[in-house]
Chain A
């Protein structure tokens, strides 16, 4: 429950939604070719930026070029940029926070500078809340609360149902079959590094699969595309073999690094497949184009293949070439499904509630937007929902 306390600071941020405008300075040109020049603190930044906008008066002779000048605490006007002689906007960056800066525009006719227009002043400041992301902050806070609530609920022994996931019920059979045939099991954790969430999910599943191969006593091959993934995989598999009481069966050398290169990796793994002929192949993690190269070769050596990825573009290939495919979120449900750990089941329940929330937002939004075409006030709801889901 303590973990939920972290949301408090987030809620405080949300509460301080007050506007933090650095003050808008603006002048009207009054006879100058610049009709108006405004300067204001650049919004939603870490400070050091001032937004300038200017419009050029219609009907006056346009200068050949214009120079934007800045007056800072050194006490001199210095040119910072050449502008095209048209209306425009510019953000001056790299300034010191909480210092006053003035700007003016000097017109150039035939190479000679003329009288500048009136100067404007602004003070750059850093912002403590990104105003375009408040809706998302609220959503993230709510989702986090729900997920942590159900994790706690699960830990305290609350009963949570989990539906059948075909690809995962097949894990045991696949490993068993490999043992019967006296052939190895291969586990491919995708081609991304440990900072990728799918790789992390894959590593957790690897722990479970390793327990099965340890129990059944079939060799487990884990070729990896990233060094860090290799060392994490070694650690996890070793731990699993230890837990099942078969530390003697753990073979560090069967978990190795191939190459960081996407297709070099595919070539290497294809080679291992045709030579070692694994009877079961798991492909879980982030995959790109190599997905089908691996899956078709695996298929050709007669392995049972269980694949899973959240990459929408690769799912169709896995479906076509593998016996079982975990689609999108099913990959993330796998660790809960295989381990039946209450906290993971709880987290899954939390994800479901979050999806339900999004479904309600969509349905409500669509209904009100549709009704809104005939009855104006309903659009307000739709607009509100669109606003909170918009993120800058």
Chain B
């Protein structure tokens, strides 16, 4: 029995264990779930060490061509502070590391979100209603622009949704519902694709190892 066949069996049996959850919770699922959690946690630890900490930190602190770059001690110390969470007396120091993570994340988000999610979308919505020509495009474009504007009205929090604002918000939530329905329908296919992929694995890779060829 080759390593490849053993691998296929491992994968297939674990898959079946996890699928058994669809019926109800059972010892097979519990086993696979616990194994999955443990192995994946271990994988990410190793992965972080090998792919981030060694190349992006250690090899910069102590470059292979020799020398020592003390500036890289700073992230090292901050990382250490983060781990001080484990020592109650020193736990407060981890706030410094947390502050760096949150600050950098917030700074990146502001520009990235404003650029890609707000300004670019506003820019894309500024169109001539007659664009494309013909009454059908007029109607479509009007639906689009009204949808964006009324959708935004729905997200008004500091104005009561009454009168004109209420009417617009109602149109807004209606458009949102149509959008969510469409997005759901569009996604069904992807979800089934995944099942197809797993089924193909079981039917065309695992069954043949037992001499069953479909």
Contact = CB atoms under 8 A, between A and B. Distances in A.
User: Are chains A and B touching directly in their complex (CB below 8 angstroms)?
Assistant: yes
Contacts of A369: 126-129
Contact of A264 (B41, B109, B129, B149): B41
B156 interface: yes
Interface stretch (A78-86, A120-128, A239-247, A265-273): A265-273
Interface stretch (B3-11, B50-58, B68-76, B97-105): B97-105
A258 B37 contact: yes
Interface stretch (A10-18, A69-77, A183-191, A193-201): A193-201
A261 B126 contact: no
A93 interface: no
A389 B123 contact: yes
Given A260-B41, A271-B33, A358 B152 contact: yes
Contacts of B115: 136, 391
Contacts of A263: 36, 40
A386 interface: yes
A386 B126 contact: yes
A274 B102 CA distance: 34
B126 A361 contact: yes
A352 B156 contact: yes
A390 interface: yes
Interface in B147-161: 148-149, 152-153, 155-161
Nearest to B181: A316
B110 interface: yes
Given A231-B94, A267-B36, A370-B130, A275 B25 contact: yes
Contact of A259 (B37, B82, B101, B181): B37
A328 to B, nearest CB: 7
B7 to A, nearest CB: 19
Contacts of A197: 105-106, 109, 113
A365 B85 contact: no
Contacts of A195: 101-102, 104-106, 108
Interface residues of A, number: 68
B122 A358 contact: yes
A370 B158 contact: no
B101 A193 contact: yes
Interface stretch (A1-9, A19-27, A156-164): A156-164
A165 B160 CA distance: 11
Contacts of A129: none
A333 B157 contact: yes
B155 A328 contact: yes
A362 B102 contact: no
A161 B159 contact: yes
Contact of A320 (B82, B85, B127, B184): B184
B145 interface: yes
B156 A391 contact: no
A386 B123 contact: yes
B188 to A, nearest CB: 10
B2 interface: no
Nearest to A319: B180
A261 B114 contact: no
A169 to B, nearest CB: 14
A136 B37 contact: no
A143 to B, nearest CB: 8
Instruction: Decide if the interface of chain B is mainly helix, strand, loop or mixed.
Output: helix
A277 B176 CA distance: 32
Interface string A171-190: 00000000000000000000
B180 A264 contact: no
B160 A316 contact: no
B122 A194 contact: no
B118 interface: yes
Given A366-B127, A373-B128, A348 B158 contact: yes
A391 B44 CA distance: 36
A165 B85 CA distance: 36
Interface in B134-193: 145, 148-149, 152-153, 155-161, 176, 180-181, 183-184, 187
B36 A194 contact: no
Contact of B44 (A259, A316, A361, A362): A259
A181 B34 CA distance: 28
A312 to B, nearest CB: 7
A362 to B, nearest CB: 5
A-B pairs, top 8 by smallest CB distance, nearest first, are A195-B105, A261-B40, A365-B126, A264-B40, A316-B184, A260-B44, A259-B41, A316-B180
12 contacts: A194-B102, A228-B101, A263-B36, A264-B37, A271-B25, A271-B34, A274-B24, A316-B181, A352-B156, A365-B126, A370-B128, A370-B129
Given A195-B104, A267-B36, A352-B156, 20 more contacts: A136-B119, A163-B160, A193-B101, A194-B105, A195-B102, A228-B82, A228-B98, A259-B44, A260-B44, A267-B18, A268-B37, A313-B187, A355-B152, A362-B122, A362-B145, A365-B125, A366-B128, A370-B130, A389-B123, A391-B115
Interface of B: 18, 21, 24-25, 29-30, 32-34, 36-41, 43-44, 82, 85, 94, 98, 101-102, 104-106, 108-111, 113-115, 118-120, 122-123, 125-130, 145, 148-149, 152-153, 155-161, 176, 180-181, 183-184, 187
Interface of A: 135-136, 139-140, 143, 160-163, 165, 193-197, 200, 228, 231-232, 257-261, 263-264, 267-268, 270-271, 274-275, 312-313, 315-317, 319-320, 327-330, 333, 336, 345, 348-349, 351-352, 355, 358-359, 361-363, 365-366, 369-370, 372-373, 382, 385-386, 389-391
